[in-house]
Chains A and B, each alone.
Chain A
Amino acid sequence: MSGDGVRGIVAGHGTFAVGIISAVEQITGRGAMLLPVSNSGLCLDDIQETLARAVDTSGARIVFTDLPAGSCTMAVRRMIRARPGMALVTGINLSLLLDFVMQDDADPIAAVQTALDRGRASMAIHGA
């Protein structure tokens, strides 16, 4: 586990990151493995700076974002260009994060691959 136990950063609009991490904490007690970042009130340069600081201080190699077209996603894609070994996962959901934090003995990059499958599979429509 990296640094102070943070294995991934969650970045998104408004209080998305804080909210989804609170759900991870409620379900697993492992919310501290994820560090929240919000783009609220920040220009693109400040988003990039905030994310870079979060990566540097936590040692996390995975960044999860809410929206493929979002400003956090754009900022992370710029950042990982200069940081080999990092990965970005966009369009995340709670199932994906739950699976990720439960794999705390696996390499984060490997863990995110299986978590991605779990997240995709969790979306379904019932009825109608």
Chain B
Amino acid sequence: MPVALYRIDDRLIHGQVVVGWGQPLGLQFIVLVDDEVAVSEWEQELYRMGVPPEMAVYFHSVAEAASVLATYQQDPRPGLLLVGDIGTMDRLVAAADGKIRRVNVGGVHHSPGRTARLRYVFLTLAEEEGLRAIARRGVDVSAQDVPGARAVPLDELLVSTPTD
């Protein structure tokens, strides 16, 4: 089975990922792509302790992830790839050379300078452009926090407000 979900979520591994997506998809592994976590044993242990024992977690920098992505895509187990921000996903998509065809915006929360687009997506102008850049690489970008929610296409996301 190919990697089931390529997700941008600034909380990285948390309840929505492990339970909300993990159980319906039957996830057996998570690939966490983050240049800082990839070199921190303590951070890696923190995230490993957040998942059930039957779920494996692998940590990679963007460069490493791009080079081993095909291996994960050929893994028979259901898996999820996770990054913490749009810039990281943009770099990964570029380095993966067409191997990523769909990206899920799962959680980009409020911080100064960001505009609310959905209840769980707040974007700066640069981040909006980052998502457009990902889409220009032929990637289907949509926002969806949990499996039961409607996937909001990128064009709609970028003109949305939380009251829509």
Which residues of A does B touch, CB under 8 Å? 13, 41-47, 67-71, 73-74, 77-78, 81
Contact = CB atoms under 8 A, between A and B. Distances in A.
State the 9 A-B residue pairs at the shortest beta-carbon distance, nearest first.
A43-B109, A71-B14, A69-B50, A69-B18, A71-B11, A70-B15, A43-B10, A67-B15, A44-B11
Contacts of B13: 69, 74
Interface residues of B, number: 23
- Could you say which of A47, A68, A71, A81 has the most chain B C-beta atoms within 10 Å of its C-beta? A71
Interface of B: 10-15, 17-19, 42, 46-47, 49-52, 107-111, 119-120
Given A71-B11, A74-B12, 11 more contacts: A44-B12, A45-B111, A46-B110, A46-B111, A69-B13, A69-B17, A69-B19, A69-B51, A71-B14, A73-B50, A74-B14
B110 A42 contact: yes
Contacts of A71: 11, 14-15
Contacts of A73: 50
Interface SS, A side: helix
B109 A41 contact: yes
B110 A67 contact: no
A44 B13 CA distance: 10
